[in-house]
A and B are shown apart, each in its own frame.
Chain A
Amino acid sequence: MHVTSPVRTPLVTGGKTYADVTEDICKQVEGKPTKEWKIAFAISVVVLLYGTCCLFWTWWEGLGVWGLNKTVGWAWDITNFVWWVGIGHAGTLISAILLLFRQKWRTSINRAAEAMTIFAVICAASFILMHMGRPWMAHWALPLPNTFGSLWVNFNSPLVWDVFAISTYFSVSCLFWYVGLVPDLATIRDRAQNKVSKFIYGTLAMGWNGSAKTWARYEYISLILAGLSTPLVLSVHTIVSMDFATSVIPGWHTTIFPPYFVAGAIFSGFAMVQNLMLIARVVYKLEDYITFEHIEMMNKIITLTGSIVGVAYLTEFFIAWYSGVEYESYAFINRATGPYWWAYWAMMTCNVISPQLFWSRSLRRSVKWTFFISVVVNIGMWFERFVIIVTSLHRDYIPSSWAMFSPTMFDIGDYIFSFGLFGTLFLLFSKYLPVINMAEVKGVIRTTSEKLPAKISGVSKADRLASPAYKKDAE
């Protein structure tokens, strides 16, 4: 049995009972799609269709439709890829690392955050396929026998490590998410009114009945999956950063990249979770489940990781000077004062300064500010990748080949594609699957609401006296 300090504010407010949790979360799965949902879904699908046309043309014509040139041969495609992979870090961080640290507040947000992770990784993967140019050759990245090509894949290459890291991360995240969904799917199955949904949710629920033996094993594998996912999350962005760090380009050849990229990934991932959860909490009336406490906790993580990122930017700058390598120093001076100064300072403002506003308690508990800063953070994180990639390339060793990068409508259209894809997938998820992990929330409400005074828990004294839990305590 749990012991919770009475000074802790409850994780779920409104004095919810177990039945209330089921009702509140299942309501949106069982009901007909609302008008707002239909409008949002229609917009996402239109955006996706526009993006698909751009993507089709990119593949049909070839990568020449992008604004790349001889000097800047890697720009928006890889920027978008790193940006989406970074966003895809929060979900597994919340469900794995916070599980290991026994942070119970994760229970209200882990489901949606994991879904976000999966969809963000799908978007990231779409950029890998895009910039292959010939996606029908994608299997060449796999270690297949020589008859498919001339050689084996090169296991010394970070790009091959990336294939392993991202595919492992994607599939393990899907597993983690699905295992967590099974008990909730069983709840929906047992409430289903019509045959079709009973069949679909019943099949997905795999015959779950919540026996103590199953739960014991479930807890155990959750712990092991969390233990595995923790280093996995860290490895994914580490390996993504090695795509750059193992090269010899000044500005990329930096040993600080792995921790700096991981911190940046968590930073942008949490910002995206904030954006999605703040909308979901209003649309699905989940204010009692995603409380100000949750928002504040996430903002604290945003401030922490934002500060780590800030320190990394400064360290990078210092080391470029300290190294005594003039090319390295120039790459950084050029970043801050060269023709791309605006991108650099946009990154600095959005990522280093804006999260520091959360030192103020009233700002980090404000929905509007949180939403605004989260958007700013994600813009900043996009610029971070753009700065690292484009400014390091655009002025190389021969001044006559110096160039600028300007995106074409297909660079932009392919980026828009990923938003359409993400929006469509997330809306489908939020309509047809429970956005909050009911089983885990039920496991934490008792410790945090019923036993507290009414002014904190929201449960009146009479209700508390009538509850069997109180009677047991009285004994």
Chain B
Amino acid sequence: MTDANKKFLVGVYDDDDVALAAVNKIKSAGVKIYEVYSPFAIHGMDIAIGHPRTRIGIAAFCFGLTGFLCAITLTTWTMGIDWPMVIGGKDPLSFPNFVPVMFELTVLFTAFGMTITFFLSNGLGPTVKPLLFDPRCTDNKFVMAIDLSKNKMSEAEIANLVKASGAEEVSVKQV
């Protein structure tokens, strides 16, 4: 959240299917939804809200490639260039023997790189204060937040729409 003091309309739902249906209903009425918070992953929710598809997979590939190249460099340089050694009568650059290390480093780099990317791209960190419109969204409620400044409709109109879509509670919060 960059600019403070934004007004949000917050709708609390009791059921994940109702919340997903509500998102579709409200969006088709022309209201932009800021975000929906839920205690577990609801498949298709991000697409329904209109979030762009996550590109974290591309990051994963780049990290994996980095790990793979690092492993090739490490093994071939140490074994073949810096201090070549004949072991078991084999060529110092016995490539198949380096495959396990290449595989492991590829996995290691991908896993760490991707997890760090995951935390950074979501703005998560040990000192981050969570933006919670309703703390029950990590327990059993599904919370929809609509940024009122981003929508042309009036507050009352949107509130009616949210209520009609099955929300249990509707309130306005300043963040």
Contacts and interface: CB of A to CB of B under 8 A. Distances in A.
B79 A207 contact: no
A4 interface: no
B107 A211 contact: no
A442 interface: yes
Nearest to B14: A468
The 4 closest A-B pairs by CB, nearest first: A207-B128, A18-B140, A216-B46, A161-B100
A215 B125 contact: no
A183 B37 CA distance: 12
A161 B105 CA distance: 11
B62 interface: no
B100 A468 contact: no
B137 interface: yes
Nearest to A211: B35
A151 B78 CA distance: 9
Given A210-B38, A217-B121, A155 B101 contact: yes
Interface residues of B, number: 71
Interface in B24-66: 35-46, 49, 51, 54, 56-57, 60
Nearest to B23: A212
Given A156-B97, A175-B112, A225-B111, A19 B56 contact: no
Contact of B130 (A153, A207, A216): A207
Interface residues of A, number: 70
B115 interface: yes
B148 interface: no
Contact of B124 (A176, A208, A220): A208
Contacts of A235: 100, 103-104
Interface stretch (B4-12, B84-92, B156-164): B84-92
Interface stretch (A164-172, A275-283, A318-326, A385-393): A164-172
A228 B111 contact: yes
29 contacts: A1-B44, A151-B85, A153-B78, A154-B79, A155-B78, A156-B79, A156-B90, A164-B100, A179-B118, A187-B139, A207-B125, A207-B129, A207-B130, A207-B131, A208-B138, A210-B37, A210-B38, A210-B40, A215-B40, A215-B46, A219-B43, A224-B56, A224-B57, A225-B114, A225-B115, A442-B39, A442-B140, A468-B18, A468-B166
